[in-house]
Amino acid sequence: MARTGGRELKRVVYTREQIRERVEEMGREIAEAYPADEPLLILGLLKGSFIFLADLVREIARPVQVDFLIASSYGSGTVSSGEVTLLYDTGADFEGRHVLLVEDIIDSGTTLARLVPRLEARKPKSLELVTLLHKRIATLPREARWVGFDAPREFLIGYGLDHSEDYRNLPFIASL
Closest residue by Cα to residue 160 from 2, 16, 11, 7: 16
CA distance 78 to 69: 21
CA distance 137 to 140: 9
Q: Residue 31: beta bridge partners?
A: none
Active site residue 107: yes
**Residue 96: partners with Cβ closer than 8 Å, 6 or more residues away:** 123, 124, 125
**Residue 165: partners with Cβ closer than 8 Å, 6 or more residues away:** none
Q: Which of 107, 150, 162, 166 is catalytic?
A: 107
CA distance 146 to 144: 5
**Residue 41: partners with Cβ closer than 8 Å, 6 or more residues away:** 64, 65, 66, 67, 92, 94, 97, 98, 99, 100, 124
| Residues taking part in catalysis | 107
